[in-house]
């Protein structure tokens, strides 16, 4: 972790009311100011800056725009601040789950859910580093990403922006992405949205109501893992209430994030998610996003006069912000005077393509329909509007704010272009139909040797999905094409799970998510076998919406409106995602962690050793039983003793293993002492003890290619 604990030093700023105001507005030599002395620690530099600041200069750090625009003094609503002390940087925040958003000349990476499907922490890291490089050169140095949620319902509109339904996978992948962003030493990462922000419907007027054990194990845990493993500069609180208290004024910002987890960055709000001055500040909010509304000088002065807040708390909030900025290099690496017009490099495009390739999940492949084996004269029918750039092509995460240009995608290579180019190399030809008329599409499919049909689902911020069906008549289109050509391959471009009423009619299905600007060559490489699929589902695909944890109970979803607040009962408790299906004995359509390859793998000889407290070693033999090189994401799960009341087994680790045909390897997944303690792999949260507990008893470990793994061994913990 790059950050260091501020700890008790936060309280040293109590007497800030009496300090002198700043010196000249413009400094001829920044080296004369102690907060620019790189020989000092970030905390020492931050304290020096605040000690040289007036109270209202300190207030500036508590709101994004005044903090980040040091020479501006006036804002809407007659809000006025003094000019900031000299030698403070201009800082620019940007949204960034899938790239530097609403900006020309950047790389459109695949959606975050596709990154999760790679199960590749190193790839998440390099993607984050590429985004940071592009952000900095575009004049932006705080990236509001990665995003974390827990996949409570696949209807959630922002599912594509998150990392799936498992706390460990989400936490570690988010940590890798945040480390990548902050490896730049000029750019900060922000985890979002804390906490229990699991639906877009009435997100600003809803309350996520859950017991403490559920909150800690399901919703807090991925943030805890990412915070401990990455040291992000900031964490963004969410719009929703948690048990009747708005997240941005909830005490768990202090009690969980700062005290228990030891997070030493700053907590920022989402846009418009602040509802108070004193309650928000006292309970851990450090910075209001966007312009001053609740943390204005007038409101802070009034709260101080009323005894609702203290100068020590204001100083602590400012110290967290300034320390994070200095620690992250923002003071020492000013933004470029002129942003670079095009920052998307060939290397970044390669990363985008690699994420699209490794994140695609092969869901079905009967009789080796894939890979396509074209010969001279082979005809391939490509069908569906999202295969072509001309018709609402799904580049990344579309339709945010009703705007299809969330990512500009100037360099988009469409699936049609990618498939056509690859087919031509083999002497094959491609015909295209946009799928607007299923009958016409069926004619096109019937005249081809193989048909590749695209189905899509749009999802994004501000609204949830109405159902899990394909949009734009996708189900009818696929059925029509499949009836016309028995060799039909379905490519799904979705941000969440979908029902597949046509699944038995087609021999092959490839989940592409939102594949980014390089989806065309990535898809072509996968379909033609130049790349062997290795993606694994980061979320369960149910057979129907009725099988999901929140279905059939309006109290669970969408919730019941009481006095203007939608009360959402998290009464399913710990049974979220694959734990729900296992606990209820419900077979999903495709299990969490599932994904096929063009080869096959076998697991044997599982042995689990250790004491469960200082460490656990999981060893097994993995064999490539097929005829091609391939990569398997080998997963390890554990079922805690029955005395703990855990609903089902949980993921505890994984390993990406590449093997040649017929080759074997002993795979070892080590859970060391810090893993067991920091990630709570074998622990449960006991509210009665206000802490994490490792129970005595038998722990059942399983390994395999998904959450339905059955190769088993038992470890007894005393």
* Buried b or exposed e, range 111-135, using 16+ CB within 10 angstroms: bbbbbbbbbbbebbbbbbbbbbbbb
Residue 78 Cα to chain centre, angstroms: 38
3-state secondary structure 192-247: EEECCCCCCCCHHHEEEECCHHHHHHHHHHHHHHHHHHHCCCEEEECCCEECCEEH
Query: CA-to-CA distance for 134 and 103, rounded, in angstroms?
Result: 10
State the Cα torsion 287-289-293-295 to the nearest 10°: 0
Nearest to 140 by CA among 68, 75, 231, 232: 68
Query: CA-to-CA distance for 19 and 54, rounded, in angstroms?
Result: 6
3-state secondary structure 434-459: CCCCHHHHHHHHHCCCEEEEEEECCC
State the Cα torsion 293-297-298-302 to the nearest 10°: 110
Query: CA-to-CA distance for 110 and 516, rounded, in angstroms?
Result: 4
> Of 270, 286, 547, 675, which residue is the catalytic one?
270
- 170 vs 62, 108, 143, 685, CA distance in Å? 29, 21, 18, 19
The CB density around residue 334, as the number of other CB atoms within 10 Å, is 15
Q: Coil, helix or strand for 619?
A: strand
Q: Coil, helix or strand for 136?
A: helix
Query: CA-to-CA distance for 642 and 648, rounded, in angstroms?
Result: 9
Nearest to 386 by CA among 452, 446, 450: 452
**Which positions ≥6 away from 284 have C-beta within 8 Å?**
250, 251, 253, 254, 257, 258, 267
> Is 295 in contact with 266 (CB distance < 8 Å)?
no
Nearest to 268 by CA among 352, 212, 339, 191: 191
State the Cα torsion 193-330-226-120 to the nearest 10°: 110
Residue 680 Cα to chain centre, angstroms: 20
* Buried b or exposed e, range 436-450, using 16+ CB within 10 angstroms: eebeebbebbeebbb
The CB density around residue 672, as the number of other CB atoms within 10 Å, is 13
Burial status of residue 562 (CB atoms within 10 A of its CB: 0-12, 13-18, 19 or more): exposed
Q: Coil, helix or strand for 630?
A: strand
Nearest to 236 by CA among 195, 279, 205: 195
> Is 264 in contact with 245 (CB distance < 8 Å)?
no
Angle at 604 between CA 600 and CA 605, to 5 degrees: 160
Query: CA-to-CA distance for 227 and 5, rounded, in angstroms?
Result: 12
Take residue 190 and report the two structure tokens written for it: 């922000």
- Verify whether residue 270 is a known catalytic residue: yes
Q: Write out the H or E segment, with its range, that includes residue 618.
A: strand 615-624
**Alpha helices (runs of H) in 26-63, residue ranges in sequence order:** 42-51, 55-60
Just list the catalytic residues: 270
């Amino acid at each position: 972790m790059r950050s260091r604990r501020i700890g008790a030093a936060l309280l040293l700023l109590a007497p800030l009311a009496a300090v002198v105001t700043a010196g000249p507005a413009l400094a001829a030599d920044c080296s004369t100011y102690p907060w620019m002395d790189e020989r000092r620690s970030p905390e020492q530099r931050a304290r020096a800056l605040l000690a040289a600041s007036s109270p209202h200069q300190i207030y500036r750090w508590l709101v994004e725009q005044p903090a980040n625009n040091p020479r501006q003094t006036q804002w809407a609503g007659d809000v006025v601040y003094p000019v900031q002390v000299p030698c403070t940087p201009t800082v620019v925040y940007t949204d960034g789950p899938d790239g530097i958003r609403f900006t020309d000349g950047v790389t459109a990476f695949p959606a975050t859910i596709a990154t999760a499907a790679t199960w590749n922490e190193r790839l998440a890291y390099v993607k984050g580093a590429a985004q940071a490089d592009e952000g900095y050169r575009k004049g932006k140095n705080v990236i509001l990403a990665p995003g974390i949620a827990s996949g409570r319902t696949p209807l959630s509109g922002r599912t594509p922006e998150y990392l799936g339904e498992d706390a460990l996978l989400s936490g570690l992948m988010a940590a890798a992405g945040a480390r990548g962003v902050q490896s730049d030493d000029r750019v900060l990462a922000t985890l979002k949205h804390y906490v229990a922000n699991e639906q877009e419907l009435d997100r600003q007027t809803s309350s996520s109501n859950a017991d403490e054990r559920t909150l800690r194990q399901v919703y807090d845990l991925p943030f805890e893992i990412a915070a401990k493993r990455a040291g992000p500069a900031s964490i963004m609180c969410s719009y929703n209430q948690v048990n009747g208290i708005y997240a941005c004024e909830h005490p768990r910002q202090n009690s969980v994030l700062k005290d228990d987890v030891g997070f030493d960055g700053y907590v920022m709000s989402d846009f418009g998610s602040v509802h108070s001055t004193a309650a928000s500040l006292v309970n851990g909010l450090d910075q209001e996003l966007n312009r001053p509304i609740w943390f204005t000088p007038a409101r802070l002065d009034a709260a101080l006069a009323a005894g609702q807040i203290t100068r020590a708390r204001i100083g602590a909030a400012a110290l967290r912000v300034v320390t994070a900025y200095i620690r992250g290099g923002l003071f020492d690496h000013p933004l470029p005077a002129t942003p670079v017009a095009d920052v998307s490099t060939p290397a970044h495009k390669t990363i985008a393509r690699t994420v699209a390739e490794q994140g695609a999940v092969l869901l079905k492949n009967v009789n080796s329909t894939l890979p396509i084996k074209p010969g001279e004269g082979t005809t391939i029918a490509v069908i569906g509007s999202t295969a072509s750039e001309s018709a609402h092509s799904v580049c990344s995460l579309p339709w945010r704010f009703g705007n299809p240009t969330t990512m500009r995608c100037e360099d988009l290579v469409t699936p049609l272009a990618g498939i056509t180019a690859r087919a031509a190399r083999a002497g094959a030809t491609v015909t295209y139909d946009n799928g607007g008329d299923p009958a016409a599409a069926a004619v096109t499919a019937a005249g081809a040797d193989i048909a590749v049909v695209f189905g899509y689902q749009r999802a994004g911020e501000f609204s949830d999905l109405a159902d899990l069906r394909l949009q734009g008549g996708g189900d009818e289109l696929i059925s029509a094409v499949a009836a016309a050509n028995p060799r039909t391959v379905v490519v799904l471009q979705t941000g969440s799970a979908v029902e597949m009423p046509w699944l038995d009619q087609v021999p092959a299905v490839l989940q592409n998510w939102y594949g980014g600007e390089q989806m065309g060559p990535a898809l072509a490489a996968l379909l033609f076998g130049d790349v062997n699929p290795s993606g694994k589902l980061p979320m369960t695909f149910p057979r129907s919406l009725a099988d999901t944890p929140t279905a059939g109970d309006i109290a669970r979803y969408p919730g019941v409106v009481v006095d203007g607040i939608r009360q959402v009962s998290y009464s399913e408790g710990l049974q979220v995602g694959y734990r729900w299906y296992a606990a209820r004995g419900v077979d999903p359509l495709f299990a969490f962690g599932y994904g096929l390859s063009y080869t096959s793998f076998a697991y044997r000889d599982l042995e689990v050793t250790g004491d469960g407290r200082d460490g656990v070693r999981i060893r097994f033999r993995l064999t490539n039983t097929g005829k091609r090189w391939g990569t398997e994401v080998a997963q390890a799960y554990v079922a805690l003793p029955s005395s703990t009341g855990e609903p089902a087994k949980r993921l505890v680790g994984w390993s990406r293993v590449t093997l040649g045909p017929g080759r074997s390897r002993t795979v070892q997944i080590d859970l060391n002492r810090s893993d067991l303690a920091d990630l709570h792999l074998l622990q449960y949260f006991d509210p009665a003890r206000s802490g994490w507990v490792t129970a005595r008893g038998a722990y059942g470990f399983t390994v395999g290619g998904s959450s339905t793994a059955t190769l088993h061994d038992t470890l007894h913990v005393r």
